[in-house]
Amino acid sequence: MALRDISKTSRHYRIIESIFVSMCNSKLFNDIAVQDENDWIVNHQSDEQTFNDWCKSYSVVKSTKSRICIQPIGDFSGPGQKLLSWLQSFCSAFYFGVQVAVLPPVSASKIGCKCRINPETRRCQLRATDIIDHLKQTRKPHALCTVAVTMIDLYPKESWNFVFGLASLTYGVGVFSFARYTDTFYRTPPAKESTENYMCSDITAKLLWRACKVMTHEIGHMFGIKHCVYHNCAMNGSNHLAESDRRAASLCPICLRKLQEALKFDLADRYGALVKFCEGSLTDSTTPLSEFADYGEWLKKALSFLESKQYKSQVGKRPR
């Protein structure tokens, strides 16, 4: 089974495992929708990572590191500064109990990152491997992981057209781009677009929704969580934007169990923090949150489910 058998001697352990099993059997989580033969799941249905598999491979569970670092690449002044603040708030709720720090932005030229103009889109692109090398050299010793974010398109090597992101799980670093998540990316670019004059445009609700989902997905890999094949889940793989948009923002019970084991958070408190983000109480009044409405309602249903299982009285305040 994907979750561990409920057989450990600790009563507390048996109770919390039973909660996750009940979540799997609830109506909270849907099956993965397949709409195209090019969908990621079509060719990866057997790529399981059970909870036991994860326990054997994940090495940071007992780590004393307690911070996620977000490294902006490029110009994030103006609207971009707000985007970073909103991403920080969402990430803090999603990875509940972990401090999330946004580092000062750095330019591509300052880190010696090679760039090119993509012959098809005519947009600037940064070589992702150069950014990964920079992150390896500058990663903070107290960081669980460091992820770079940029509004500039990426490519991994000359023979590739583009890549959404790239990571080194060994070093706990990664980089991903929001460029192709904007509505303006495929429009005609400026005549002399460069990494030095590229600025973050106005942040729409759709861009913020996509950015939050891809950021938490990629950071999930830093915790050793592989792509999910069990339910519609934040950790599902995707081969194209439409498939990424169908991906849920929530973690399924199997992936949530892995993260909860790593961070030891209270499930109800974590869901409560995410509800607060969706309702705007963790950010400012200008936050475009219309795309988060359905997710907020789902989170409330998840909280009601935990209440029906008397989660707080049975699990919430007891030591692990």
* Euclidean distance between CA atoms 80 and 1, whole angstroms: 44
Cβ neighbour number for residue 258 with a 10 Å cutoff: 27
**Separation CA 257–CA 100 (nearest Å):** 21
Tell me the C-alpha to C-alpha distance, in Å, between residue 97 and each of 64, 92, 144, 287, 300. Answer: 13, 7, 12, 23, 20
Q: Name which of 173, 212, 196 is nearest 74 in CA terms.
A: 196
Question: Which of the 8 DSSP states describes residue 262?
Answer: H
Which phi and psi (to 5°) does residue 314 adopt? -90, -35
Catalytic residue flag (residue 218)? yes
What is the rounded CA–CA span in Å between residue 75 and residue 29? Answer: 38
Query: What does the DSSP 8-state code read for residue 116?
Result: E
Q: CB-hemisphere CA count at 13 Å for 262?
A: 26
Judge whether 217 and 250 are in contact, CB under 8 Å.
no
Which residue, 230, 218, 260, 209, is CA-closest to 97? 260
Query: What type of residue sits at position 212?
Result: C
Sign of CA dihedral 223, 229, 233, 235: positive
Output the six-digit token pair for 30. Answer: 């849907």
* Opening angle at CA 132, ends 130 and 136, nearest 5: 120
**DSSP for residue 70:** E
Q: What is the DSSP letter of 106?
A: B
Angstrom CA distances, 135 to 167, 172, 190, stand at: 10, 9, 30
Question: Which of 218, 243, 291, 307 is the catalytic position?
Answer: 218
Among all residues, which ones are annotated catalytic? 218
